[in-house]
Structure formats: structure tokens, C-alpha cells
Structure 1
Amino acid sequence: RIENFFGYRLDLTAEFSNSLNRLYITRSNCDMNITVIALENGKVELRSCVHSLIFAMHTDGNLISKSQTKIFRMIVSKDCVKFVNDFIRYIAALYFYTRKIYINLSSVKCIHNLASDYGVTAIRDYCDKLFYKLLPQDQSFKHQLELYNYAEAVEDSFLKEICLKYFAWNCEAFSKSVVWYEMAGEELDALLQRSDIVIENEFRLFQAVEQWVIENERAEMVDLLMSKIRFHMMSPEQLVSIPYNSNLYEVFQGIFTTRLLEAFEFHSVPVQKLKYYRNISEASYHPRIYTSPDWSTLLHIPTPAPGFNHSYTHQPFYGALVPYREQLDTGYNPYHPSPSSFFHTARHMSQLYISNTLSWSAHYHTNAQGCRNSNVICPYDTYPVATLSTAPSRQDNSIAYQNQILIVCEDRYISFVQDMKNSSAVLPLLNTTALFLFACSSGVTSLRFVVRPYYIQ
């Protein structure tokens, strides 16, 4: 007969991790020597002793575990030497011994590099995921540029694209920083090729590039860099000011003249004729993401009041449940209209359409009730949803729109850019720490709706 008695378990697994950590610190009975050598001068920077049995337990293919000898040499670049002791202690001790590691923005480059060089794939893959979270932490852009330079040096296209995307989406702040002038010419050229640069207008980008050329004394880069500036997207007033105000125009007049003439052509020739002589599918005929009031509006997202709850009380209005009066001021009250903004733009970037304006309405609907209270059609199955629509008007079959929403975090940086499809875009809850491309731990503060017209080929 089986007795149904209760038993008790002695569980010391938590102490096991601490015991292994102490084993590393004391080096008791260690049998494998690790020597760290600086790449630049061959100088021995550090010696450490570990336990080969602990390393042998790991099957991720790292070079230390696969070593057949009791002596292992690590070649490390000099700028990462200061992290080597942490790498051995935290990678060897805390990862191999206790499988824990702490990584921040200052150490992620070196730890990623060491993990890549020595085949610690779990840590390398973890660093790849961390880049999105860590990049927004540095408002100076210094660490972001260091990571970009590192990505180029080790030919890491994944990290390079992450950094370029962050520079592009936050180009307004980046172009005003000291680090802007530390970019290499080839790096700036790569950035200027992108259409997802978020900037006030193209003229502002032109001024930033011009100042980069002057500060770095890189006259030989003028033709290459100016070929990436979209002069067509500048207004005639901005274009005509360049010969009088540009510090580069007098010296490089030949480079500017052709581009200015083509831009004025864009503003004066109807698209029906223009497309017979020009390839209007080229990037120069398409806008970037311009945040000026001429092409965008900023919609602030209200934050629920502290202690907000969803208590309801009966009111005589059709017997419905209505929130208490003091709750009506909270931004996410389902019985209020959704946050909205109304603005006007020209139909197209060309001066031919300057007097042909469109009226736009931007909404952020957190639920169906708020949507209906906004007196708009609400066919959506999923909420929250952002919408950007224009009043019905005579359609121009030669113009289309690639409108986008910028998710702004802390009123400081853009954490995500969302395409609008059929005038709407489904978004995560913005008053939470939703996982956007670039981390936004404190919550989204606003949405910027951007109108982007272009000619159809």
C-alpha cells in the first residue's frame, strides 16, 4: 500500500551558482591559463586562470571550450582592453560559471566583438537584440557612431543598418550634434542615400551637409554629397537663396548650377511633360520624411491620470454606464473623442500645386467608442489605430501618397516609423512600454503624421 505522505525538498541550487562564482574568484585548482594580448603592440595585458572542466560543459562551439591545450591566447584591440577583465570575469565566470552577464552601452561593442571573435554565440546574439534598446540612451550620438564604425570594421551589415536607421530617423538632432562632424565622408554618403531621413526639410539637410564639408575641409566630397541632396524637394525661395548664401556655391558653381536648373524645372513643368524627359522614379523626385508644418502635424498623446481606474456609475443617458465626472479629463476616456489634429498641405511638392491644398485629419483611436465619438467612420477590427485622411476632392491620377507616422519617445527621439496603408495604421498601446524598433521605456509622448506625395511614373 502506497502511503500519501507529504515530503520536503532540500534545494541548494541557488547556492550552487554562488559556489561556482567563488570558485572562479579563488582560482582554486584552476588548470587553464588565459593570456590577453593587445592587438596593436603585442603587449600582455592580463593573465587569468580558469577551470577547463567548466568550459568543457558548454557546447555552443566557442573557441575557449574547444581549446585542446591548457594555454589560451586572446588577441584584443586596445580600445577593448579595459573590458577584457570584465569579459573574462563576466563571460568566463558569470556566463560560463553562472550563465549571467550584465551589458550596457559602454561595454556592448567590446563584448559583442569578443563574443564574435571567440564564438560565444549566445552572447553575440543577445548583443544583437540589445542594440535596439541601448542606442537611444546616448543623446550625444557618440556611442552610436562608435558602434557604426565598429560595424564597418568587422563587416557586420546587421549592426550597420541598425545604426544607419537610428541616424536617419533622428537626423534632425544628429545633424545638430558635435558628432555629426566626426562622420567619415563615406558614412555621410551612405546616410544621404536613404529616403527615411527625418528632417525639417531638404534645405535644412543641405545646410547640415554644407557645414560638414566646411568643418572637415573635404572639398573633394562636394560633388558626391551634393548629388545625394534632393534639390527638387526645396521650395523655389530656398533654391534661389543658395547662390547668395551658400559658402560653397562660388567655388563649386558648376556643380550647383545643373542641379538648381533641374530643380526649377521640376517646379515649373507639368508632370505629363516632365516624365517624358526625366525619370521621375529617381530618388531626387521623391520626398524624405519632412517634419515642417508644411507637410506634417504633431499629435500629443495624453497620459492617463495617476491612480486612474475604470469605475463606472449609472447615468440616465440611455441607462448606459458612464465614468465618474473626475475621470472625464483623462486622455484615454472611451467616452471622449479620440485625440485629433487637423492641418493643410499642398497637393504636391511642386510649386505648380502650391495653391491646390488638401485638408487632412489625423486621429489616434484607442477604442471603437472613442472612434465613433469622433464622428468618423470606424470599420476597424483592431485598436489602437491611427488614421490620416483627407477630404474628398478632385483626384489627380498622377499623384500618390506614401504617408507615415513617427512614434516619438520622451519628446526626444523617434522609436518607430510606421507606414500608412489605406489611410490607417494599427499601433501598439502607446501608454505602455511597448516594444518598438528602438526601445521607449518611459512611454510614447506624441505621434507625428507626415504627408509624402510623389509623382506616379
Structure 2
Amino acid sequence: MSRVCFFISSVLLLVNISLGQDLNTTHGFQDRHMRLAGGPSPNEGRVEVYHDGQWGTVCDDEWDIYDAHVVCQYLNFSEATSALDGATYGEGTGPIWLDDVKCRGDESDLSLCESAGWGNGNCGHGEDAGVICKPVSDPWSNSSLENPTTHHAVNHGTALPELLGALFDSGHDCDLQIAVRVDGDKADSICVHRLILSLDSVLNGSLADLHIDVTSNCSHYVASFVRYLYTRQINITSSSLQCIHGMASDWGLKQLQEETGKLYSWVLPQDPTFQTQLSLYEYSVRVANEAMQRACLRYLAWNFEALVLSPAWTSSVPLGTVEALLSRSDLVVPSESYVLDAVESWEAARGGASATEDRFDLLKHVRFPMIPAEDLYRLQSPRYQAGRLLGFQFSALRFGELLGELVAQRKACTTPRIYTGKPWSFTFDSEEAQDYRRRKFFFRNETRHDTLDGSFSTPVYGDVSWSTELAFQNKDCTRRELCVSAKLVQSDDCKQTEVAKRFVFENKLVLSCAGRYVFHVEDFNSRGKAVVPDIWWSAYPCNSRSHVHQVVVRPKYIIALNGTEEQQE
């Protein structure tokens, strides 16, 4: 034990000497180094850049949240929460090194972003840019989705984490063995220090028979997990998340278990093959973690179209997951016909309908009344007869008779999903939206437009006309440049008809990340407005500048039951 103490004391002495040397250093800044100045706390202030032997500032022209992210991540904060202009933290001194900065958000420093170049600009210090970074106490770290090796750094250490990590790595004077069993067979053991583990109240009472049971795909992460017991720090990737969570659960490490559970939303968009998402969902079902199940299933539902197009749909999605998805009304799909095609392709991969329908009937989850009559007409197989009849009935009945049917049958099959195809949605042009977000205007056919708007109609027992508008600065937004605000309203003449009075609408704003995956769905309120107050607090992360914005109409029928009103989707 004395040797252990001597080892720690020696390393402490070495570190203290090194720290003392660093504190006495007053120069030696590297070119392009950045710092924050003038702020009330370390995570906010005026952005200053070191170049050519001198500190200078950055002009706020074109300054936005993506530029702020680069600054904050350079300074080891997870991300920015605000990009500020107008010398919010006071006017700086010296040169204004950068102007017209346009970052993607994943650059390592501002010099790698598009700009006017060093010292080129037309600004005064009254336009010095500033940022507010997410405080270090927040658990989220930098997570660029473009890099599959991105890790999330979990740090629960309170003292000597680096020193204890070095002690574990060295293996000096270890006096306790942890058996490692891979796929049920003992494969190895890890030598640890009884004193270190005994400091944990959860582990102290069970040091006699320590073992770790993992599958072969998790065996690579055992050493990192044990090292966490020393340092309370661990780097987690999309590949290791499930393994680390499982080991934390087995060992009763609640803090690590909760932290890894929070990371599910972070890793879900990282795998375009959907293998990770499906594996995490199956794991969450196996360990009965309802929060993880909801996060995984919602992502799969919002990205159902991409899932069906992936090889995983016909090779890796089990029946239970298919049924869980088909039962949801938040499937984001072009149409209900797409859902039927997905069912047929899944069944075909398993030998066709005749080979599967004895065990289950997925057609009961298809909402035939939501399929257009022309598509129903093309369904000639006898197995579609009941669904076709229900769909034709829904399309052909007069509205009064249809209400009677809805009251009598109360069928969930009349509930629409989130249909992004025509005529139920309107998609804003992504290039126009990006120009409008940055400049507050855009050009279409060489004509300048100061509002980003559009119009369309939906066939709800007679056309209902809609007008919609997209904005990026609005009085409802909590921070400048960070929010998306959309309006979607009916024309006044549509609201006055008796048929229209039998409907309400639960409309949606669907946001896609660079057209690759849906990362957020927001409800429109009763006034026809949907606001995402901070794009970085969305349901799933998106580190791209390019967003696709779609507004989707979802009608609900108001039916009378025993003299009261009820809404039937």
C-alpha cells in the first residue's frame, strides 16, 4: 500500500512542477488561438483571435450560431447557445482580424471558415462579435455527426482522475482480480486495486466475487469500463454505448447508467444503415428501459421512409418492431400507399404473404381509408378486399353518413399519419430557406422576395386552401438566429362552410437534416403557429446548416357522441 501512495505522491509532484511552469508562462500563444473577453463568466464574452503576434476581434457581419459553435468547441465547450453582435461585451482593441465569417459548424477554428481573409473588412469595434457557450456542467460534448469515431466524454471525476487512470494503466500493486466472461466462458481477468474500488459505496460490499459478463462484441470495452471505476471518466461512441450501459446496469452504477441512457438521442442519427438503431431498440426492450424504447421507436417512426429503403428493412427488422412502428400515427411517410408497399416488401423477404399470414396479419395496421381511391383500385388481390371496401366507403360516403360510420365503428384506421407527399404537405425550397435565414431575403426567378411563403390546398371534402410562411427571427423565438417559426393557416372562406366546421387540424412542422434524416417534428398550435425555440434543443442533433422544412396537414373529424363532441383522427 505504501508503494501505491508513493506512486501517487510522485506523480503529484511531477504534475505540480509542470503546472507551476505553465502558470509562469506569459507568452507563446499559437497563431489562430481564440479566447473570450469581457464576459461575466468563462463561457461567454467577446471573441478574440491571436494572429501575427497580436490579439484582435471578429466582425459580426454574417455572424451566426454556426460560427459560434466553432469558437465554443475550440475552447472545449460542447456547443454555443447564442451568437451575439453589436459589441455586446464591450468594444475590443487592436485589429479586427476577421469579417464575413461563414462556418459550417464543424471546423476546428475560425481561420478554416470562409471569410474575407485576415485583416480584410470594413467594420469598427462597435460590431465586435460575441458568443455564449453551453456551460461545462452540461453533460453534452461536441458530437459531429459527420465523424463516426465521435465520442461523448462522460466525466464524473471529482479528484485525481488522471493520476488514478495512470495507476490503473500501470497495473502497479494491483491486488484484486475481476473475472471477464465473454459469451458465458471465462476469457480473461483484469487486475485492480481493492482500495480504489472500496471507495465506491456500491462496490464496497461485493468485492469478494467480482466479474463482468459481456458478449463478444462488447469485450473490447471492458477495460475502459473498469478504468471508469478509477477516474469516473469514459469516452462513449455509438459502438460502445449499448455495451457500457449494460455493464453499468449490471454493476449498479446509476450515474453512468443514466448518463448513457441520455445519449441514445445523440447516437441514433449516426448510422444510415439503421443497424445501430435497431440493435439499440431491441436492447432497450430486453432490459425494459421505456425511455430508451421511446427514443429509438420515435426516431425509426420519423425516419420510416429511409428505414424501408435501407437493406435493414427486409433483413434485420423483426416482427415486433414492424408492428410497433405500423401502429403509430407519427410515421413520417409520403402516403399510406407507401406503408402498404413497405408491408408487402417485408413479407416478400420472408416468403410472401402466404408464408406469413398464418402467423400474423400486418394488413390490419394499414389504414386503407387514408389510401386514395385510384390506388385502392389497383389492389386486385383477394387479401385486400376488406381494406379496399373500407377505403372506398370512406372516399364515397357523404359526410353525414360517414360521421355515422365513425361513431358506430370508432375505427383507428381513419387516423392519418404524417404524410409528406402531395397534397398533404408543402416543402420550402432548401436553398431559398438557407439564403433567407442568412440574409432575410432571397431571389426567385431574379425577383427579390422578403418573405418565405407558399400556398397549397388539401382535399378534405372539398378543397381547403392553406397559406404558409417560414421565418428565422420571430417574437416567439427565445434567441436570435436559432429558432424556426412557421405559420400555416386556412383561407377564411374555407372556415365558414358547414363541412369545414366538422374538422380540426393537428398539423406538423417536419425538419430534416440536410435531407438525410428527420431530426424534429413540431406541432402547430391552435393559432396556426409552430416554433422551435432553439434548433440545438431539437429531438435529435443536426450539425448541418442545410435543413429541409415541410408543413404537413393532418385533419381530425369532430363527431357527436351522446350530445358531446369528440375528436376522431
Q: Deviation string for 1:172-198 (max 9, x for gaps)? A: 111111101121112211110000001
Q: Give the equivalent residue in structure 2 for 1:194.
A: 328
In the alignment, structure 1 residue 289 sits paired with structure 2 residue 431: no
2:153 aligned with 1:46, yes or no? no
8 Å CA contact 1:132–1:162 kept in 2: the answer is yes
Tell me whether 1:31 sits opposite 2:175 in the alignment. Answer: yes
Match of 1:75, as an amino acid?
A: D
Residue 504 of structure 2 corresponds to residue 389 of structure 1: no
Letter in 2 for 1:46: D
Q: Which residue of 2 aligns with 1:409?
A: 513
Query: Which amino acid in the other structure matches residue 361 of structure 2?
Result: L
Give the 3 Å change call, closer, same or farther, for CA 278–344 of structure 1 in structure 2: closer
Show the counterpart of 1:303. Answer: 434
Question: Alignment partner for residue 241 of structure 1, among 356, 378, 388?
Answer: 378
**C-alpha spacing 1:127/1:221, structure 2 compared with 1 (3 Å):** farther
Counterpart AA for 2:330 = D
Kindly tell me: are residues 272 and 14 of structure 1, through their superposed partners in 2, closer, same or farther at Cα, counting changes over 3 Å? closer
**Partner Cα separation in structure 2 for residue 92 and residue 142 of structure 1:** 27
Distance 1:27 1:213 in 2: 54
Indicate the residue corresponding to 1:175 in structure 2: 308
User: Once superposed, what is the RMSD of the aligned Cα atoms?
Assistant: 2.7
2:239 is equivalent to residue 106 of structure 1: yes
Which amino acid in the other structure matches residue 305 of structure 2? E
1:220 is aligned to 357
Any idea what the Cα deviations from partners look like across 1:142-201, whole Å, max 9, x if unmatched?
111111121222222221221111111001111111101121112211110000001010
Say if 2:171 and 2:191, in contact at 8 Å, map to a contact too. Answer: yes
Aligned to 1:230: 367
User: Contact (CA 8 Å) 2:477, 2:531: kept in 1 or not?
Assistant: no
Q: Alignment partner of 2:361: what SS?
A: helix
Cα drift, residue 14 of structure 1: 11
The counterpart of 2:261, out of the listed 121, 128, 147, is 128
Give 1:233-272 correspondences, 5 Å limit: 233-243=370-380, 249=381, 253=382, 255-272=383-400
Alpha carbons 1:407, 1:444 under 8 Å: kept: no
In 2, Cα distance between the equivalents of 1:51 and 1:30? Answer: 5
Q: Partner of 1:210 in structure 2?
A: 344
**Contact in 2 for aligned 1:232/1:285 (Cα 8 Å):** yes
Contact 2:476–2:533 (CA<8 Å) still a contact in 1?
Answer: no
RCO higher in 1 or 2 (8 Å CA, sep ≥ 6)? 1
**1:246 aligned partner:** none
Per the alignment, residue 358 of structure 1 pairs with 464
Is residue 341 of structure 2 the alignment partner of residue 341 of structure 1?
no
Secondary structure of 1:303's aligned partner = helix
Match of 2:554 in 1: 452
How far apart, CA to CA, are the structure 2 residues paired with 1:14 and 1:275? 64
Q: Match for residue 66 of structure 1?
A: 205
Partner residue, 1:320: none
Contact persistence 1:90–1:100 (CA under 8 A): no
Residue 161 of structure 1 corresponds to which residue in structure 2? 294
Asked whether the equivalents of residues 300 and 445 of structure 1 are also in contact (C-alpha less than 8 Å), the reply is no
C-alpha separation between the residues in 2 aligned to 1:241 and 1:267? 15
TM-score (norm 2): 0.63
Distance change in 2, residues 1:236/1:78 (3 Å): same
In 2, Cα distance between the equivalents of 1:341 and 1:277?
36
Match of residue 375 from structure 1: none
Residue in structure 2 matched with residue 321 of structure 1 by the alignment: none
| Residues 267, 14 of structure 1: alpha-carbon distance in 2 compared, 3 angstrom cutoff | closer
Gaps of 5+ in 1: 1-8, 244-248, 309-326, 369-378
CA distances 1:64-92 after superposition (whole Å, capped 9, x unpaired): 443142x41222234423x3xx33x3222
SS in 2 for 1:44: strand
Partner of 1:6: none
Aligned to 2:125: none
Residue 418 of structure 1 and its aligned partner are, at CA, apart by 0.7
What does residue 149 of structure 1 align with? Answer: 282
SS of 2:234's partner is coil
Give how far 1:15 is off: 10
What is the TM-score normalised by the length of structure 1?
A: 0.78
Q: 1:239 to 1:290 in 2, by over 3 A?
A: same
Q: Is the 8 A contact 1:185 1:221 kept in 2?
A: no
Alignment check: 8 A CA contact 1:344 1:357 kept: yes
* 2:164 aligned to which of 10, 20, 45: 20
User: Residues 160 and 111 from structure 1, CA distance in 2 versus in 1: closer, same or farther, beyond 3 angstroms?
Assistant: same
Q: How much does 1:429 deviate? A: 4.4
Instruction: Supply the AA of the counterpart residue of 2:523.
Output: D
Q: How far has the Cα of 1:436 moved from its partner?
A: 0.8
Cα distance in 2, alignment partners of residues 329 and 399 from structure 1: 35
Aligned to 2:405: 277
Structure 2: give runs of 5+ residues left out of the alignment.
1-15, 21-156, 560-569
Query: Per the alignment, do residues 106 and 363 of structure 1 end up closer, same or farther by CA in structure 2, a change over 3 Å counting?
Result: same
Structure 1 103/187 Cα, relative in aligned 2: closer, same or farther at 3 Å? same
Amino acid at match of 1:361: S
Determine what percentage of the aligned residue pairs are the same residue: 29
CA distance in 1 between counterparts of 2:440 and 2:332 reads 35
Q: Offset of 1:96 from its aligned partner?
A: 2.3
